[in-house]
Amino acid sequence: MQLSNSSQYAIRILAYMADQKDSKLMNATELAGALYIPYKFLTKIMTELVKVGLVVSIRGREGGYKFEKKTSEIMVSDILDIFNDSIKDEQCVLGIGFCNGLCKCALHDQWMEPKLLLQRMFRESSLEDIAGRGCKI
Amino acid sequence: MQLSNSSQYAIRILAYMADQKDSKLMNATELAGALYIPYKFLTKIMTELVKVGLVVSIRGREGGYKFEKKTSEIMVSDILDIFNDSIKDEQCVLGIGFCNGLCKCALHDQWMEPKLLLQRMFRESSLEDIAGRGCKI
DNA sequence: TATTAATTCTACCTTTAAGTAGTAATTATA
DNA sequence: TATAATTACTACTTAAAGGTAGAATTAATA
Ligand code: SF4
Ligand code: SF4
């Protein structure tokens, strides 16, 4: 039970970018070096973030990445959605089809509360909220 | 963010067995049929459950599986442990090494509460607690 | 004892996640 | 305009999860 590597990397990359002053352009080499993420894998992830519209890229010399929207408007769940890692309302903890709330699975009652807290954590935490917190990057 | 297929299957199998009366022997064909789990994959999982000591198997004609311990003494987390799916105390939500509680990652503060509830759900729910709950099996 | 019904073992196949390599396209600057 | 520094694209490789096939082993029973 954990987030995929792609999701973890993406959150760390964007939280790091959000922590930089004056929204300066950051390039893949800097990011990969600072966060210890394999360069080629990072560029692959960044291209997805660009495609989905979270960040914009400037190609060519002196290029790099910057945010498309304000960091207060990008939620962690927006990032997880890209990698199919967020917790959907209809997701059954035991994987028995879809959750309609009527016909329960064995773990339903125990699952509801942690599920809600996880969803809240993902949906209500913006990049602004988490940027610069903690010493690990 | 979800449990592996193996974990989901194993919980469903054991919860179903725990719901049967008088701890009768159940064989792989019955279980696979009742739970719509691929027979061959189920037997692979069952063999792991036997090796780890949660259930015992009787081989040969009229054989099958039954519990080794009381269902009140088998916790969901015991099952998840087998498939490396439980949430460890030192597990970082962003995968930045191990969690020592001192040097935090960006999501640390938001992660602590859902993490605790998930761990409680897994560690404090026994098979007896969840057997027979809900209509989905 | 032969048959049958069951688990176990070994090996393989398929799909997805994770990561790598090389090149093309783009753009600022010397 | 040539060069260097950057992202994007295509394709590949590796590792892990998920799943399958077949034969070996075991034991009750006819
Ligand atoms: S039972 Fe609970 S967990 Fe399973 S599907 Fe319905 S709601 Fe989701
Ligand atoms: S920071 Fe929070 S989440 Fe990251 S490792 Fe430490 S405790 Fe775990």
Whether A38 has a pLDDT exceeding 80, the answer reads yes
**The amino acid at A28:** A
User: A24: pLDDT confidence band, cut at 50, 70 and 90?
Assistant: confident
Going by C-beta distance under 8 Å and a sequence separation of 6 or more, which residues neighbour residue B49?
B10, B13, B14, B55, B65, B82
**The amino acid at B51:** K
Going by C-beta distance under 8 Å and a sequence separation of 6 or more, which residues neighbour residue B125?
A107, A110, B75, B76
Using CA coordinates, name the residue in chain B closest to A94. B8
A90 belongs to a structural domain: yes
Least confident span in A85-94, B42-51, B100-109: B100-109
Ligand with minimal distance to B89 CA: 2
Q: How far apart are CA B68 and CA B50, in angstroms?
A: 9
A114 belongs to a structural domain: yes
A75: containing domain:
5-130
Question: Residue A99's domain is classified under what CATH number?
Answer: 1.10.10.10
pLDDT digit string, tens, across residues A62-112 = 999 999 999 999 999 999 999 999 999 999 999 999 988 889 999 999 999
Cβ-Cβ contacts under 8 Å, A121 against chain B: 107, 110-111, 113-114
Count of helices and strands (H, E) across chain B: 6, 2
User: Quick one: average pLDDT of B90-109?
Assistant: 93
User: A23: pLDDT confidence band, cut at 50, 70 and 90?
Assistant: confident
Mean pLDDT of chain A: 96
Pocket around ligand 1: residues whose beta carbon is below 6 Å from it? A 92-94, 96, 99, 101, 104-105, 108, 111; B 134, 136
Q: Name the minimum distance, in Å, from the CA of A81 to any CA of chain B.
A: 11
Residue numbers 26-45 of A with CB closer than 7 A to any atom of strand D:
27-29, 43-44
User: A22: pLDDT confidence band, cut at 50, 70 and 90?
Assistant: confident
Least confident span in A22-26, A46-50, B55-59: A22-26
Q: Output the six-digit token pair for B5.
A: 């297929």
| Pairing state between β A64-67 and A55-58 | antiparallel
Whether B23 has a pLDDT exceeding 80, the answer reads no
B60 belongs to a structural domain: yes
**The amino acid at A34:** A
User: B84: pLDDT confidence band, cut at 50, 70 and 90?
Assistant: very high
Please name the residue whose C-alpha is nearest to the C1' of nucleotide C27: A60
Whether A4 has a pLDDT exceeding 80, the answer reads yes
Spanning CA of A24 to C1' of D4, the rounded length in angstroms is 21
A98 belongs to a structural domain: yes
**Domains in chain B, number:** 1
pLDDT of residue B100: 85
Which of A94, A100, A113 is the best mutation target for the ligand 1 pocket, counting ligand atoms within 8 Å of the beta carbon and taking the most?
A94
B93 belongs to a structural domain: yes
**CA-based nearest residue to B24, from B67, B75, B71, B80:** B67
Whether B8 has a pLDDT exceeding 80, the answer reads yes
A135 belongs to a structural domain: no
Beta bridge partners of A56: A66
User: Reduced to 3 DSSP states, what percent helix, strand and coil does chain B have, rounded to the nearest 5?
Assistant: 50, 10, 40
A76 belongs to a structural domain: yes
Q: How far apart are CA A91 and CA B65, in angstroms?
A: 30
Going by C-beta distance under 8 Å and a sequence separation of 6 or more, which residues neighbour residue B81?
none
B135 belongs to a structural domain: no
User: A21: pLDDT confidence band, cut at 50, 70 and 90?
Assistant: confident
Spanning CA of A60 to C1' of C24, the rounded length in angstroms is 12
